[in-house]
Structure 1
Amino acid sequence: MKDYSDDLAALRRRLDEARVYLRIDELREARPQLEVEASRPDLWDDADQARKVTGELSSVVEDIELYERLEGGIADGETLFELGREEADDSVEAEIAEALEALGTDFGELELRALFTGEHDDSDALCELQSGEGGADAQDWTEMLLRMYLRWAERSGFEVELAEASAGSEAGLSSASFVVRGRHAYGRLRSEHGVHRLVRISPFNAQGKRQTAFAALKVTPFLDDVPDIEIDEKDLRVDTYRSSGAGGQHVNVTDSAVRITHLPTGVVTSCQNERSQHQNKDVAMQMLRAKLAERQREEREAELSAIRGEQRSVGFGSQIRSYVLQPYQMVKDLRSEHETGNVDAVLDGALDGFMEAYLRWERSASDPAAE
């Protein structure tokens, strides 16, 4: 019978490491109090606090149960191996090998969480798309990217709130803003922050020529509670307007769209997808606080890349990723060098491979000994 001692010992070491970076002991201490808070009959009197408590409890339970499932799987594998070795029973070898393979896969998913080391990686994400160079193709590309991220969020179990989408002058969208809610939403989507380049035969070119188009995605941590951000109403200009219904099914056509301009900084937010002007203003104000908090962090750390990475012009030479449909098919990230030939799958939201490759690239770039 094959000796699986080293394999099982390696899994034990990985489990010990997981206990540390998941802070399992702290989570077990925190769980009872969170369960008490979540069971309070008046919990939902404050919806924001209720979402915070239930979300935190869900994350704690998820990490503890995953750790315990892996711990149990290793213990079962060790027991099976010892029994097989004592009884010289080779028939259990295939079962042990299958169990070890499954545990390895589970550990791979678990260890991805160790890459979420940023201050706000657990947070929701405010995402803003903006068309760049490329005319009608860039506006069409912006709408394609919006669909790609909405599909990714749907496939990944995240909630999405589309705040605003503005029709392009020729086609597609000139801009769009949306919030992605769920654990590690920002931690994953920050890998997408930057300029995205599309190369294809242009449907807007009568000669059928190849066209290059650009659009940018800006990703900011979307914090429900930003206590250190004080906004004076005198510093705001609030405009109301009728939404254009840009993006077809994406946006409700209403008379209550709101645009807020923070005059001292020039930061602008808008929302047109809620049912009332009051709701649109509340969402736009929350987006404004998140953007101003981001601005404060950038100024405090004096380095834009500390939170979102470098912001560059939305045109040639600035892209983080290229999506080539002609003359061949390829999506390639220019930072991690992760690539795939299945362009259709990526445009339909299959982005996890690119996100994980970026996080691993980021860790190796900051700590070469980590890889």
Structure 2
Amino acid sequence: MRAEIEAIVDEIKQGMALLRRHLDWDASQQRLAELNGFVEDPSLWNDPERAQKIMRERTDLENRINGYLKLDRDLKDSIELIELGEMEDDATVVTDAENTLRGLKDEIARQQVESMLSGEADANDTYIEVNSGAGGTESQDWTNMLLRMYTRWADKRGYKVEVLEVHDGEEAGIKSATVLIKGHNAYGWLKTESGVHRLVRISPFDSQARRHTSFSSVWVYPVIDDKIEIEINESDCRIDTYRAQGAGGQHINTTDSAVRITHYPSGIVVACQAERSQHKNRATAWNMLRARLYEAELKKREEKANAEQAGKTDIGWGHQIRSYVLQPYQLVKDLRTGVESTSPSDVLNGDLDNFMEAALAQRAFGKQPAEISDID
């Protein structure tokens, strides 16, 4: 084999070894056998909730095991085809097998990222809040751009997006918004997007066409199910109702259907205006509050494990996680991982996977994806 192909084969083997360690092969095989035993039990569906949980776990584990086995078969088949093609001097067979190997390399990289999404709530749907910060109208327009960016990203993945609450800006853009993104691993993918995002551009609102800097914050927290108990004393909360604004038809703007809940002990505020019914908005707001408190607990655990001191920061200088520069040059740079893109238009249209993968790798391993194969 050519040196280039030998290097790809070595990289694939290293990646597969890492996937096997993440999968904890022997334990996973044992757990799958146990789950198959549960599925064969006729009484399983006497408890539908437990049955659904078992079926989801079984399907996920089976898919990961089968995915690894397929990679192993494809790697061996490709190597054999290359050797056979070289013996028979068949360039077409060799080329096809080499292309398959390159595809396997990409698939390994994808599965490495998927293997990082194994946290307690990673598989769940997620809420995203965007809030404007320093910069006035500029910041409010930037907040609207961020909301569009995440919506585009979700659309590309086939996720469903529901707008729960929007506060329009005075002149343009939005002051804040909350959306619900539904899809497998939605929270796992988006959880590293929490933080302050900075935009530098020539202002479309400045008659002198000067360059402006704007800040907006993003806050991501998972949807949680009823089996996760979060105790909330209603006496610790203030509930306000108000007239909804923004898109939603005439009726939504003529009744006090929107609901805002303030949780005094944590300082968390949630709001929902998605439904015409105040009762439904109230129920959704309570779910959002439970999710925020749960996310805060997850964050505390992570900070304790990593011996870090972090928290929700001010929306301004010195706290940004990513910088988007449109003028005087074109660059998007993640300040945590160093990942860059010279095509801000693609990023703002939802091309975020490289940034998310690098942040997930850093959180999981303290390294970038290109370095993952070097981990013992």
| Corresponding residue number in structure 2 for 1:211 | 212
1:182-225 C-alpha deviation (Å, 9 max, x unpaired): 23322221221111111111122222211111100112233223
Change (3 A) 1:299 1:134: same
SS of aligned partner of 2:366: helix
CA distance in 2: counterparts of 1:346 and 1:301, whole angstroms = 28
Structure 1 residue 237, shift from structure 2 partner: 2.6
After TM superposition, the structure 1 = structure 2 runs for residues 203-242 of structure 1, keeping only pairs within 5 Å, are 203-225=204-226, 227-242=228-243
| Corresponding residue number in structure 2 for 1:133 | 134
1:255-293 C-alpha deviation (Å, 9 max, x unpaired): 322112224433221111134222212211111111122
1:370 equivalent in alignment to 2:375? yes
SS of aligned partner of 1:288: helix
Structure 1 residue 166, shift from structure 2 partner: 1.0
| Corresponding residue number in structure 2 for 1:74 | 75
Contact 2:241 2:259 in 1 (8 A): yes
SS of aligned partner of 1:284: helix
SS of aligned partner of 1:244: coil
Change (3 A) 1:309 1:52: farther
Contact 2:261 2:271 in 1 (8 A): yes
Structure 1 residue 50, shift from structure 2 partner: 8.6
CA distance in 2: counterparts of 1:308 and 1:165, whole angstroms = 31
Give the TM-score taking structure 1 as reference length: 0.83
1:197 equivalent in alignment to 2:190? no
Change (3 A) 1:15 1:361: closer
CA distance in 1: counterparts of 2:177 and 2:306, whole angstroms = 23
1:177 equivalent in alignment to 2:182? no
Change (3 A) 1:28 1:304: closer
Structure 1 residue 302, shift from structure 2 partner: 6.2
Change (3 A) 1:306 1:50: farther
RMSD, aligned α-carbons: 3.6
Structure 1 residue 363, shift from structure 2 partner: 4.5
Contact 1:8 1:77 in 2 (8 A): no
| Corresponding residue number in structure 2 for 1:291 | 292
| Corresponding residue number in structure 2 for 1:29 | 33
Change (3 A) 1:203 1:22: same
Change (3 A) 1:7 1:292: closer
After TM superposition, the structure 1 = structure 2 runs for residues 247-258 of structure 1, keeping only pairs within 5 Å, are 253=253, 255=255, 256-258=257-259
CA distance in 2: counterparts of 1:198 and 1:6, whole angstroms = 40
After TM superposition, the structure 1 = structure 2 runs for residues 1-371 of structure 1, keeping only pairs within 5 Å, are 8=9, 11-12=12-13, 14-23=15-24, 24-25=28-29, 28-29=32-33, 32=36, 56=57, 59-81=60-82, 83-84=84-85, 88-91=88-91, 92-116=93-117, 118-225=119-226, 227-245=228-246, 253=253, 255=255, 256-298=257-299, 303=304, 310-363=311-364, 365=366, 370=375
Q: After superposing the two structures, state which structure 1 stretch, 188-197 or 74-83, moved more.
A: 74-83
Equivalent AA in structure 2 for residue 200 of structure 1: R
Give the TM-score taking structure 2 as reference length: 0.82
CA distance in 1: counterparts of 2:7 and 2:209, whole angstroms = 60
Contact 1:133 1:215 in 2 (8 A): yes
CA distance in 2: counterparts of 1:271 and 1:50, whole angstroms = 32
Contact 1:131 1:138 in 2 (8 A): yes
Q: After superposing the two structures, state which structure 1 stretch, 7-16 or 236-245, moved more.
A: 7-16
CA distance in 1: counterparts of 2:34 and 2:160, whole angstroms = 26
SS of aligned partner of 1:66: helix
Contact 2:8 2:105 in 1 (8 A): no
Contact 2:203 2:211 in 1 (8 A): yes
Contact 2:142 2:199 in 1 (8 A): yes
CA distance in 2: counterparts of 1:203 and 1:63, whole angstroms = 49
Structure 1 residue 300, shift from structure 2 partner: 5.9
| Unaligned runs of at least 5 residues, structure 1 | none
CA distance in 2: counterparts of 1:147 and 1:136, whole angstroms = 17
Equivalent AA in structure 2 for residue 370 of structure 1: I
Aligned length: 364
User: Percent identical across equivalent pairs?
Assistant: 40
CA distance in 1: counterparts of 2:80 and 2:102, whole angstroms = 16
Contact 1:254 1:272 in 2 (8 A): no
1:61-110 C-alpha deviation (Å, 9 max, x unpaired): 5424432331331232244245446x544443223212211211111111
